[in-house]
Chain A
Amino acid sequence: MRLLVIEDNARMAALVADGLQRRNFVCDVAHSLAAAEDAMGGATYDAIVLDLGLPDGDGTDWLTSRRKYHEMPPAIMLTARGALEDRITGLDAGADDYLVKPVEIDELAARIRALLRRPGVRIQPVIEVGRLYFDVANRTARAGDQEIDLSRREADLLELLMRHAGTVVHRAVIENALYSFSDPVTPNAIEATISRVRRKLEDAHVTGALHTVRGVGYMLKDNGA
């Protein structure tokens, strides 16, 4: 997966790129928006890591204007600004995620992987979380080599959780994704689906990956195996 890191502090850019490369990303570095334009003219990137304050302009404005005329890969903003107002501005401008410096490379890498799992410009045929694989086209899942037999609704749920792996998916989001308006949700429907998926994962020897955060939602987590 190829990334473009746009960051004016040369040392920071080199360190971020180096850290990401050691986590199996291919990284190019641009120190200004002009350099970023050049790089994007010559190559296709899967994601952008963007600093907000750059010598030849503001990253937010650049992202907004570029989104209007170009197809853009998902972007993660990286900034020293911490106030939440900035976060909202950044996300409004079309950033797909936002991290405040000083960032941990592990967290940045996890966020990039999460971004790449989301439905986006580049179609990703297979979503991967640890030993779990989900084939988006065929709606089939497997753990390692073992097929997991899922109903349509169970498959939808697993895909949703896998696309947001490592974060809690709120109940309301699951309800909206799995049930249409004409299709009333019974109070225990989601719990029942979750527990069926959990049992099937355990049958496929994926244990302790599906977590319940009672009162909030559910989370699928790669146990690092």
Chain B
Amino acid sequence: MTDRRSVSRRLKRGLGLIGLVGTFLLLAAVVFFYSFTFAHLDAQAAMARASREMLEHVALPVAILMIPVTVLVLRVIRQAFRPLEEVAAEIEAVQGHERGFRIDNSQMPTEALPFTSAVNDLLARLDEAAKRQEAFAADVAHELRTPLALLSLELDRLEHDDAERLKKDVAAMRRLIDQLMLLAQIDADAVAQIPLAQISLSDVASDVVGAAAPAIIAGGKTIELVTGIHAPVTRGRREAISAALRNLIENAVRVTPAGGAIQVLVGPGASISVRDEGPGLPPDRLRNLVQRHRRADHASKDGAGLGLAIVERIMAAHEGTLETDPDRHDLILRFPEP
């Protein structure tokens, strides 16, 4: 903060100036009133009296007035600005959960209210704009399905070597669109505050693994489900948790070499792990993949980053976390213990 902008420094300077001017005026007054009276006295005594007069009538009153005023004013200023500092810390702390955040006006000094209210209005407008953007993205994704369906049906009729390759591209586009739709669905659910249901993680895992198995087996890999004796449960949205697990399995299939095995483990505790035969994902790389997408940077071309970012969003909506254990080649969905 520069000198010119700091309110307390400006006040200190102002008070200093008042003190100086006051001292000077009082001195002038003292000199004016006493100069003739002291004129006939000898110089030595006159000097002593004059100094005493000045101490009594100039230095003392200035000190008595200016010191408490300065201390008090600086205190008031500090107190008045404390709510702003607290709000600044709060704003820092909500990183990643900005949606719906507003400044609490109850502790604000009246003078700051026009500013904080304006900031709150701005936040509301930004939320609204973000919501419109998301709705637009969802609409676009939805509208793209029909032309994409037509495209893949037309490709199906082509008896050409390139058709297979193009079909794969269309399938990749389709997966991306599905992911976008899913993201929109999670946001819509969060806004609508749909009540959570009690969900058995083993049931979800069994359904998802069963549904994913035919394609994995056709691709020359295997998948198995390992459940313990305990049947962990969590509160949440079944489709969302299924989608998160599906994304992790897709990720595992992508990194596992041909002939490899993918394991889905339920537990210990309220967690589901997906173990692959890939190189393992270090925590900072996972964070990067997830964050990169959040910052709308270019994620990986095949949507791997998008998939994991969605998993992270789903877990955040369930107050859980997406973790990685690179030594075991695990990606873990960890839900809060009930």
Contact = CB atoms under 8 A, between A and B. Distances in A.
Contacts of B239: 83-84
B126 to A, nearest CB: 27
A216 B157 contact: no
Interface in B171-229: 171, 174, 178, 181, 185, 206, 209-211, 213-214, 217-218, 223-227
Contact of A80 (B142, B154, B226): B142
B150 A216 contact: no
A168 B211 contact: yes
B149 A213 contact: no
B223 A213 contact: yes
A130 interface: no
A170 B153 contact: no
A105 interface: yes
Given A15-B157, A80-B146, A215 B213 contact: no
Contacts of B234: none
Given A18-B157, A105-B156, A213 B150 contact: no
A105 B154 CA distance: 10
B148 interface: yes
Interface residues of B, number: 34
B217 A221 contact: yes
B8 interface: no
B146 A12 contact: yes
Interface string A102-142: 11111000000000000000000000000000000000000
Interface in B131-158: 142, 145-146, 148-154, 156-157
A166 B214 contact: yes
Given A106-B156, A170-B206, A221-B217, 16 more contacts: A9-B146, A12-B146, A12-B153, A80-B142, A83-B239, A84-B239, A102-B150, A102-B174, A104-B156, A167-B210, A167-B211, A168-B214, A170-B210, A211-B217, A213-B217, A216-B213
